[in-house]
A = this chain, B = another copy of it.
């Protein structure tokens, strides 16, 4: 297993990425990691943090795709950037998973061009954890990759999300809820009305019906399915609630769980290898957890199981 981490991604690169690696290595005895980044910037940090170079291999890159750059253009023009090199390694099989807290668009475009969507998957999706009041962890998806969706997409997201929830979050028989504005079947916008029967008849998932905004923090479902526009607005609203709770100096164990660094990053689901996108403000904690997350996705062969599931749909 070789997990590749972009040391140059995120607002605090490469310092926090390298501290995250250090922290991961202290918790895991066997996994080897590759780092891609500026030799000049990273080498002194690897030394300073006494990283065991028997367990971390280093791939030099000479360019960085900045946060504001146009993804497609930047990937094309900066072939020596850490993200471009990362995807090259993923494509050629030199890496099994790729993690970066860099330019989100470049990560999405890079994924699309380097590794394939799983056969049968119409569109890959991205999900975000939704901490439940009772201690559990829900999964909200899509959270922005697919702004406009057709019912068939939401139906597939439910399958992808259920597998992630089972394998990575360890929930045995995850309940799928359709994000809606009413409880009964037939409620909602045209998309929700058309999606409901698909989910109801989908034998690969455990559909429990509609869920509303008020159910997102409760234990009503494990997977909350919606189109990317809605999911992104919900996610950013909840992130903002957490920011506000910090500003208001509220100390509360539950609100603390809205610190998304605890969960690592955002996995792209429905593609053939694990790719995880970190938040720009990722600190060492987030990097450490993203490596754990990628490891879990590899250990459980999540992508293989997704392939198998979608081959049944043919």
Contacts and interface: CB of A to CB of B under 8 A. Distances in A.
A181 B233 contact: yes
A228 B214 CA distance: 16
A201 interface: no
A166 to B, nearest CB: 25
A238 B212 CA distance: 11
A181 to B, nearest CB: 4
A236 B214 contact: yes
Interface in A201-254: 212-218, 226-230, 232-241, 243-244, 247-248, 250, 252, 254
Interface string A173-197: 0000001010000001110100000
A281 interface: no
Nearest to A133: B244
A188 B237 contact: no
A252 to B, nearest CB: 5
A214 to B, nearest CB: 4
Interface in A92-151: 133, 144, 147-148
A213 B234 contact: yes
Nearest to A229: B189
Given A148-B189, A181-B228, A213-B233, A248 B254 contact: yes
Given A240-B218, A241-B217, A250-B250, A212 B192 contact: no
Given A214-B239, A229-B230, A230-B233, 15 more contacts: A148-B190, A179-B233, A181-B232, A189-B227, A189-B228, A213-B234, A213-B239, A213-B240, A214-B236, A214-B240, A215-B240, A217-B237, A217-B241, A233-B233, A237-B238
9 contacts: A181-B232, A181-B233, A213-B236, A213-B240, A214-B236, A214-B239, A214-B240, A248-B254, A248-B255
